[in-house]
Structure 1
Amino acid sequence: MSWFFLIVAGVGEMAGVIGINMVNREKSLKSFIWFIGGFVGSFVFLTLAMNTIQMSTAYAVWTGIGTVGSAIAGMAFYGESADWRRIVFISMIIAAAVGLKLVS
């Protein structure tokens, strides 16, 4: 169950980052709810996940999901570059998080 919580926390982190972008584009109640709700949910679920998952692994996976998810959302919805080099570095982030899990 902790891994499920960690994935939900990572998705919340991604939602919070998207919320920051929404607030920067248009300051509305919806944008602020998306921003605050994403980060609050993210921290709640990260706390639950860290009850049984090591801090270093949980933090790496959480930030990895948030980073990779935000980069992909930026490419898909906000017209950010999808250059092959960005894809390579995104893959490296995923490989690093998986590597930490494998050695812990």
Structure 2
Amino acid sequence: MAWIYLVIAGILEVVWALGMKQTEGFTRLWPSVFTLGFMAVSFYLLALAMRDLPAGTAYAVWTGIGAVGTVILGILWLGEPRDAARLICVSLILCGVIGLKVFSKAA
């Protein structure tokens, strides 16, 4: 279950990271409320995952999912740059996240 919690927490990190852009510096009420709500649930699920997973692994995977997901959706939906260097760097992050899962001895 820990890995499921962690993946969902990472997906929610993508949601709140993209949502934060919509808050315009937390000056818009409803986008801010939703963003803070997704943040809270994401942190809670991360905490649940850390019951069974090493903190370093859980945190690295959580931030990796968030970083890769946010970059990909930023490219697809927000028109952010998609140059080769960025895509290579995102691929390296993804390889690291997969490696942590594959070589983790925990749950």
- Normalising by structure 2, report the TM-score: 0.87
**1:52-99 CA deviation, whole Å, 9 max, x = no partner?**
111111011000001011111111111101112211110100111222
5+ residue gaps, structure 2: none
The count of residues paired between Structure 1 and Structure 2 equals: 104
Counterpart of 2:11 in structure 1 is 11
Which region of structure 1 is more displaced relative to structure 2, 63-72 or 20-29?
A: 20-29
Counterpart of 1:67 in structure 2 is 67
- Normalising by structure 1, report the TM-score: 0.90
Q: Secondary structure at the match of 1:60?
A: helix
Q: After TM superposition, give the deviation of residue 22 of structure 1 in Å.
A: 0.4
5+ residue gaps, structure 1: none
Partner Cα separation in structure 2 for residue 12 and residue 29 of structure 1: 19
Counterpart of 1:80 in structure 2 is 80
Counterpart of 2:100 in structure 1 is 100
Partner Cα separation in structure 1 for residue 39 and residue 26 of structure 2: 19
AA partner of residue 57 (structure 1) = T
Query: Sequence identity of aligned pairs in percent?
Result: 38
AA partner of residue 86 (structure 1) = R
Q: After TM superposition, give the deviation of residue 9 of structure 1 in Å.
A: 0.7
CA contact (8 A) 2:65 2:97 kept: no
